[in-house]
Structure 1
Amino acid sequence: MAEEFSKGDHVTWKSHGGEAEGTVQREITSDTKAAGRTVRASEDDPQYEVKSEKSGGTAVHKPGALEKD
C-alpha cells in the first residue's frame, strides 16, 4: 500500500527541473477537477493536490510520486 499523506504535510516530488517541494493541500478520493485537469481518483486509488513552494502553483500527484520530508 502506498504512503498516505495529510493536509499540511511537506513533500517532495520529481519535476522537469529536478526535485520540487511543497505542501499537501488535500486528498482527492473521487473524480474531480483540480490543477486545471480532470483527476481520476477513488478511495482505493487517491491522489493528492500539492502546492509548489517555488512556483506557488498546484499539481496533482499519485502517492507513489510523493515523498514525505
Structure 2
Amino acid sequence: MSDEFGVGDHVRWNSEAGVVSGVIVAVHTHDIPYKGHMHRCTPDDPQYEIKSDRTEHVALHRGAVLHRVG
C-alpha cells in the first residue's frame, strides 16, 4: 500500500501535460463511476479525487502516483 493521503492534502503528479498539483477533495474507498469509466477502489487501495490548482480540473488517481507538496 502506498502513502495514505487525506482530504485537504496538497499533492502533485505527472500527467501528459507535465507536472500538475492540486488539493485532495475526496477519498474513494469503493468502486466509483467517473467520466464514463468504473474506477476500482478499496479501503486498502483508494482513489483520490483531486482538484487542480491551475485549471480546477478534477481527476482521480491512486496514491502510488501522488507526491505530497510542502
Please say if 1:53 is aligned against 2:42: no
Q: Aligned partners of 1:19, 1:54: CA distance in 2, in Å?
A: 11
Identity across the alignment (%): 37
Q: Which whole-Å CA distance do the structure 2 matches of 1:52 and 1:4 have between them?
A: 19
CA distance in 1, matches of 2:38, 2:49: 12
Aligned length: 68
Q: Secondary structure of 2:64's partner?
A: helix
Displaced runs of 4+ in structure 1, greater than 3 A?
none
TM-score using structure 2 length: 0.88
Q: Which runs of 5+ in 2 are unaligned?
A: none
> What is the root-mean-square deviation in Å for CA atoms of aligned residues?
1.1
> Are residues 1:40 and 2:40 paired?
yes
CA distance in 2, matches of 1:8, 1:33: 22
Q: Following the alignment from structure 2 to structure 1, what is the Cα–Cα distance between the partners of residues 13 and 40?
A: 19
Paired residue type of 1:9 = D
Shift of 1:33: 2.2
Aligned to 1:29: 29
**Matches of 2:17 and 2:44, distance apart in 1:** 31
Equivalent residue number for residue 11 of structure 1:
11
C-alpha deviations, 1:23-54, integer Å up to 9, x for none? Answer: 001111001123x2321101121110100111
